[in-house]
Structure 1
Amino acid sequence: MTQTPTRVNPTPEDLVTPTVFDGVLIPLSALVEARRTTDRPRIEGLTFRNCVIQGPAVLVPNSTTTFESCNLGEAAGDRRNLFLKAVGPMIIGGLSAAGCQFESCVFLGVGFAGNEAMIEQFVGHLAAGGAQA
């Protein structure tokens, strides 16, 4: 069963230094912008627990990014609506998330992009109860 954060604190002022975010609102645009001007420009190796992850955005998780007990957001009755399939070898304009962990998070206005195999695996994970749409 997916847990939803019961209390979410405002977005922290420092979105660059922490590697773990717990119980906070994370607007993906603010996270990317804050990190872009530093020596940590990517969403990489971060852990998000009990957070609300806010779009609008398209997240491109790699094979080492995990989603446990997350609510992926409103899918208008069909979980496939959350996913965008890459038709070429690259995804331009999406936010790469490499080696991140999302635990008990809620996603608002976020889509997920990848190749067909990634999407099939993700949809299978949803069907098995690993995350919720």
Structure 2
Amino acid sequence: MTDPAKYMPWRPLGEGPTYEREQIWLPQLIAQTMSAGSPMVEGKTFIDCRIEGPAVLLAIDGCDFDGCDMGVTGGDVRNLLLRPLGPQKVIGAIAFRNCTFRRCAFFSVGFTGSPDFIDNFLTVLGGKAS
């Protein structure tokens, strides 16, 4: 039998609550979070981290982004955003609640959340709010 850890390109992430100068692959983070029994990333702080997708980050209550590079926009900040069509859920996105991101760099990550979150995101990054 082969050793599965030999083929895992990422080392296991710690449980936090603070991650500093870490490379965070979001599919791995949510897989580890769900394996620990939680459906969302909650109460974590990310400082100077490289946060990678492909993924869509669903910002629920209390998420703060301070001095972050939100990623390549292709000239239009709206390219980073997805508006949920349903009023109750977003299936397939990685949910974050009460998390802080300081000076993080996002790569291949889209963002979604409430209409207020999306409008604030656009306003802060110089796009047009609806």
**In 2, Cα distance between equivalents of 1:66 and 1:12:** 26
Please name the residue that 2:17 is paired with.
19
* 1:113, distance to aligned residue in structure 2 (A): 1.0
Corresponding residue SS for 2:82: strand
Name stretches of at least 5 consecutive residues in structure 1 with no aligned partner: 1-9, 129-133
**Farther off after superposition, 113-122 or 81-90:** 113-122
Could you tell me the percent identity over the aligned residues? Answer: 34
Please name the residue that 1:123 is paired with.
122
Q: 1:28 aligns with which of 21, 26, 29?
A: 26
**In 2, Cα distance between equivalents of 1:11 and 1:104:** 22
Matches within 5 A, 1:39-118: 39-89=37-87, 90-118=89-117
C-alpha distance 12-104 of structure 1, shift in aligned 2 (>3 A): farther
**In 2, Cα distance between equivalents of 1:109 and 1:66:** 19
Which residue identity does 2:125 align to in structure 1?
Answer: L
Name stretches of at least 5 consecutive residues in structure 2 with no aligned partner: 1-8
TM-score (norm 2): 0.83
Cα deviation code 1:34-78 (max 9, x no counterpart) = 121114442110000000000000000023000000000001000
**In 2, Cα distance between equivalents of 1:96 and 1:68:** 18
Question: Based on CA coordinates, which of the two structures has the bigger radius of gyration?
Answer: 2
Root-mean-square deviation (CA, aligned residues, Å) is 1.9
* 1:80, distance to aligned residue in structure 2 (A): 0.6
Corresponding residue SS for 1:85: coil
**In 2, Cα distance between equivalents of 1:23 and 1:11:** 15
* 1:99, distance to aligned residue in structure 2 (A): 0.3
Which residue identity does 1:18 align to in structure 2?
Answer: G
**Aligned 8 A contact 1:12 1:24 in 2:** no
Question: Higher strand proportion, which one?
Answer: 1
Paired residues, number: 118
